[in-house]
Amino acid sequence: MINLAYAMGGSGGGAGGQSGFGAFVPLILMFAIFYFLLIRPQQKKAKQHRELLSALKKGDRVVSSGGLHGVITGMSDDIVTMEIAPKVRVKVSRASISGVASKG
């Protein structure tokens, strides 16, 4: 009777148990999908923004992340002075510059 119970239970290494590497294949595939769809594009965009900030110079027309359009009149390491209207100057963080409207 005991032998019959063991025979009906099946083997321990059937469809439920996978080998060591086989268990990690879905995790590796998920990481690859996340890398190519989320992580890599975000890194490329961050790199482009860093390059944009390093290439800023006086006279560039820029747009801040708050929507202010102006011309750069002065710069320091982390602060940019923008002229948004004649004789109206605003200091903004360099990181808050979102784009260059036009060069010159």
Residues of the chain above pLDDT 70, percent: 80
Q: In what order do the strands lie in the sheet with 97-102?
A: 88-93, 79-85, 69-75, 61-64, 97-102
For residues 63 and 26, state if they share a domain: no
Query: Looking at the structure, do residues 71 and 38 belong to the same domain, yes or no?
Result: no
Question: Are residues 69 and 104 both part of a single domain?
Answer: yes
Q: Using CA atoms, how far apart are residues 77 and 64, in angstroms rounded to an integer?
A: 17
The CATH number of whichever domain residue 98 belongs to comes to: 2.30.30
**Which tens digit of pLDDT belongs to each residue from 11-59?**
555 555 557 888 889 999 999 999 999 999 999 999 999 999 999 999 9
Per residue in 31-43, pLDDT (tens digit) is 999 999 999 999 9
Task: Evaluate if residue 90 carries a pLDDT over 70.
Answer: yes
72, 50: one domain: no
Q: What is the pTM of this model?
A: 0.68
How high does pLDDT run on average in the chain? Answer: 86
84, two tokens: 């948004």
Domain shared by 42 and 70, yes or no? no
Domain that holds residue 34: 20-55
